[in-house]
Amino acid sequence: NASATFDDCEWSDQSTGTASVLIYNGDGSTDSEGNLLPFEEGSMLVDFFGCSFSDHSNLMLGAIFNVGGMSVIVDSVFQDISSEASVVSSINNGTISLSTSCFVGISVDIPGTVFVDDSSTLNFNLDNFGSGNEGGNGTCNSIFDEGSGLCLPFEAG
């Protein structure tokens, strides 16, 4: 039942740590196997409008790590970031929406500058741009959809 909106914010020069922003389904409800239940209305929602994430290195989980919540990223820039995980990830039934955002100079250890696991949903990928990005072992340098196994291009209009 929580939400947050970041408007025109800047996260820069983070040289170690877990993630710049961790979004977690605050309900914490799990199924019999311990997996978080799907996003429900009222779970954690975080909006990013006109935000900048830059000059991060050695992050474990990237700039935005969404665990079972909902993240909306609009008019934001991700630049010069190295991370073990993708710069933006959505796992455990999370949802993510990307619009008019830029991903430049990203280096991650797993496939995808943006990672969407097989239980999560990419709601939309509208008018985004990526350049000079490198997924783990030269794999996907844009959006990796684990469910389909596809590397989806940033859809620039």
Q: For the segment 32-91, what is each residue's pLDDT rounded down to a tens digit?
A: 565 555 545 446 889 999 999 998 888 888 899 998 889 999 999 999 988 889 999 999
Q: Which of 61, 128, 125, 133 is nearest to 100 (CA)?
A: 128
Contacting residues for 109 by C-beta, under 8 A, at least 6 apart = 83, 84, 85, 136
Task: Specify the pLDDT at position 42.
Answer: 45
54 neighbors 81 (Cβ within 8 angstroms): yes
Residue 114 has pLDDT above 70, yes or no: yes
Q: For the segment 123-151, what is each residue's pLDDT rounded down to a tens digit?
A: 999 999 999 999 887 789 999 999 999 99
Average pLDDT over the chain, rounded to whole?
A: 86
